[in-house]
Amino acid sequence: MAIPKPGVPVRGSHSGRPIMAALDLLGRRWVMRIIWELRGGPQTFRALRERCDDMSPTVLNQRLRELRDTALVEMTDDGYALSQLGAELLKAMEPMLAWSERWQTVLAKEMT
């Protein structure tokens, strides 16, 4: 599977629009979890794997390669870390975090 990048057709879209490439990349299994787990700073491969519920090392390697190739993650002396673009993505996700907490509250009220 090709690594989604803006300007080229991606899974589900032939337009090459950046948002479609981003949705393809972020929709891949484990990608959002890896980004979320890197929010606190660099992680070694082993630590990141443990934080991601002991995901397959093969899958983690593949996802990290995709995230490095798309400039969202970089390798530092301390391990894998969000790049500047990755940190900007995390910042853009803050409204989604607030929404998810509101969603949890609404669903909890409906269940009582």
What is the average per-residue pLDDT within 88-96? 95
Q: What share of the chain is helix, strand, coil (3-state, %, to 5)?
A: 60, 10, 30
CATH number at residue 28: 1.10.10.10
pLDDT digits (tens, 9 = 90+) for 47-59: 999 999 989 999 9
Q: Into how many domains does the chain fold?
A: 1
- Give the rounded percent of residues in the chain with a pLDDT score beyond 90: 79
Q: Within a domain: residue 10?
A: no
Residue 4 lies in a domain: no
In a domain, residue 96? The reply is yes
Let me know if residue 1 belongs to a domain. no
Residue 41 domain flag: yes
Q: Is residue 7 part of a domain?
A: no
**Residue 79, domain extent:** 18-111
- 70 SS3 class: coil
Q: Does residue 106 belong to any structural domain of this protein? A: yes
Distance separating alpha carbons of residues 79 and 107, to the nearest angstrom: 38
Phi (first) and psi of residue 8, to 5 degrees: -130, 150
What local confidence, expressed as pLDDT, does residue 15 receive? 87
